Amino acid sequence: MRGLAGSDRVARLRLASGLDVCLIANRQAPIVTTVLLYRVGGRDEAPGESGAAHFLEHMMFKGAARYGPGEIDRRTQALGGSNNAFTSHDLTAYYFSFSADRWQEALAIERDRMTALTLDPAEVESERQVILEELAMYQDEPWDALELAVQAELFAGHPYGVPVLGSERDLESTDRSRLAAFHQRYYRPANALLVVAGDLGPDSVERIEEAFGDLPPAPIERAPVAAAAALGGARRLERRHGDVTRLLLALPAPAPEHPDHAGLRLLATLLGGGRTSRLHRAFVDVGQLCLAASSALAEAEAASHLACSFEVLPGGDPAEVEVRLEAELADLRGRRIAEEELERGKQILLADWVFQQERIHQQAITAALALAQGDLEQPERLVRQALECDAGELQRLAQRYLDPAAGSVMGLSLPEEE
């Protein structure tokens, strides 16, 4: 426990049950956040059970031995706390934030639903309808629908190409027994990690041991996710949805542990990160072709992609947007970025990182996501590496990754009225 009482800020341990634990001392406010992350997500679903990981995330709030349906939220609110959860292709995470004098309630809740989840058939059926409505909302929202379509094409034949929400057909056939088997297989201490961050007291490890230390150690073998197949050229898809034209270009990028990944973060910031970026100036401020233009690096454990997004002005020509976008990418490939622009991009990247890590709960989530890949230092290391990139390195990265003809997916969403 010297990590909490002494000069070191972080302490790590593994319980006899196999649960990995990380404690992060932060006295900036009398608050403690817990993040319990399970190493299971959409990529672990068998054919025909898409959406099971996300379905189970919902059911974890719908009743266990000590906390009945709705009781987790009622108890959290009564104690002045907050909770939430999320599912990705790679993992599922649950988090609570409480005052430092009552955060142990989160441990009691997590143990209860880890070991004694009810999965009442009536609750399963009720939540199925909620998730089907959520899926319908994604399909009805033009940007969400376009992103799902582009991702399916970008990762065709790969687990990342299957929506985390699943398909309507698979959700209809998911029953209590399937969810119970999924829970029994993956929701074990040895397949989870717990991050506790904030104003921690000297008895924090003891409280965690009491909650999880006596559970049986039952490790599982998780199949590694395969690499995504190379696109081998430019692909495109068109659809009609909404009342304005939208374009989404997706360019494959390497996973976070790849040496090129950090520099691509900076390149994405320079290209389309904010009002001073190249895309915003070329398409919104000066070009006046679009209502919005941006880019971002979307990350997953086994692959990433750089996405350039455009919302075209009514009456605008999407073909002209494509031509100008290719010109912007060609300029990055063919000419070095000026030092002034490079320094501005680095300052924006650093400021965004600092802002994102201001709150204790975000620090805890960042730590949990990093530890899921086995490297607590990865987030800060990637920022440092990005800030060390020079103009020559960024040009090399642009030449390697920002050539749509070498491999890309262009998604075009046209207005329905046309």
pLDDT of 1 = 29
Taking 90 as the threshold, does the pLDDT of residue 352 lie above it?
Answer: yes
| CB of 271 closer than 8 Å to CB of 332 | yes
E strands, 88-200, where?
Answer: 92-99, 192-198
pLDDT at 384 over 50: yes
DSSP for 210-261 reads HHHTTS------PPPPPPPPP--SEEEEEEE-SSS-EEEEEEEE--TTSTTH
Burial 302-340 (b: 16+ CB within 10 A, else e): bbbbbbbbbbbbeebebeebbebbeebbeebbeeebeee
Model confidence pLDDT, tens digit, residues 188-214: 999 999 999 999 999 999 999 999 999
Angle at which helices 391-401 and 339-356 pack, to 10 degrees? 80
Q: Are strands 246-253 and 192-198 parallel, antiparallel or unpaired?
A: unpaired
Q: In what order do the strands lie in the sheet with 408-414?
A: 234-240, 408-414, 246-253, 304-312, 290-299
Q: If you average pLDDT over residues 274-281, what whole number do you get?
A: 94
Phi and psi torsions of 337, nearest 5°: -70, 140
- Average pLDDT value over all residues in the chain: 94
Please, which pLDDT band fits residue 234 given cuts at 50, 70 and 90?
A: very high
Lowest-confidence region among 156-165, 213-222, 256-265, 293-302: 213-222
Confidence of residue 6 (pLDDT cuts 50, 70, 90): very low
Looking at residue 373, its pLDDT comes to 87
Query: pLDDT tier at 416 (50, 70, 90 boundaries)?
Result: confident
What's the pLDDT score for residue 418?
Answer: 55
| Residue 237, both tokens | 């898809």
Cα–Cα dist 368/33, whole Å: 11
What angle in degrees, to the nearest 10, is found between the helix axes of 391-401 and 261-272? 90
Residue 13 has pLDDT above 60, yes or no: yes
Contact 67, 77 (CB under 8 A): no
Q: What does the pLDDT read at residue 219?
A: 85
DSSP characters over 152-171: HHHTTTSGGGS-TT--HHHH
Backbone phi and psi for residue 180, each to the nearest 5 degrees, phi listed first: -65, -40
Distance between CA 211 and CA 222 in Å, rounded? Answer: 25
Residue 41 backbone phi and psi in degrees, to 5:
-160, -160
Report the sign of the C-alpha dihedral through residues 364, 370, 374, 378, in that order.
Answer: negative
pLDDT at 2 exceeding the cut of 90: no
pLDDT recorded at residue 8:
56
pLDDT at residue 217 tops 80 = yes
Q: Of 35, 31, 23, which is closest to residue 95 (Cα–Cα)?
A: 35
Radius of gyration of the chain (CA): 23
401 within 8 A of 231, measured Cβ to Cβ? no
**Cα distances (angstroms) measured from residue 153 to each of 42, 229, 300:** 17, 11, 16
Lowest-confidence region among 100-104, 108-112, 371-375:
371-375
pLDDT, mean of residues 181-191: 96
Q: Residue 210 is encoded by which pair of tokens?
A: 């009491």
Give the pLDDT band of residue 9 (cuts 50, 70, 90): confident
Across 156-170, average pLDDT: 96
pLDDT band at 221 (very low <50, low <70, confident <90, very high): confident
In the 8-state DSSP scheme, what is residue 44?
Answer: G
Contacts of 61 (CB under 8 A, 6+ apart): 70, 72, 73, 85
State the number of CA atoms in the 13 A half-sphere of 203 facing the CB.
Answer: 8
| Cβ-contact 334, 400 below 8 angstroms | no
pLDDT cut 70: percent of the chain above it: 98
Residue whose C-alpha is closest to residue 110's, from 70, 66, 79: 66
Rounded to whole angstroms, how far apart are CA atoms 70 and 7?
Answer: 41
pLDDT at 144 over 90: yes
| 3-state DSSP assignment of residue 43 | helix
Asked if residue 5 has pLDDT above 80, the reply is no
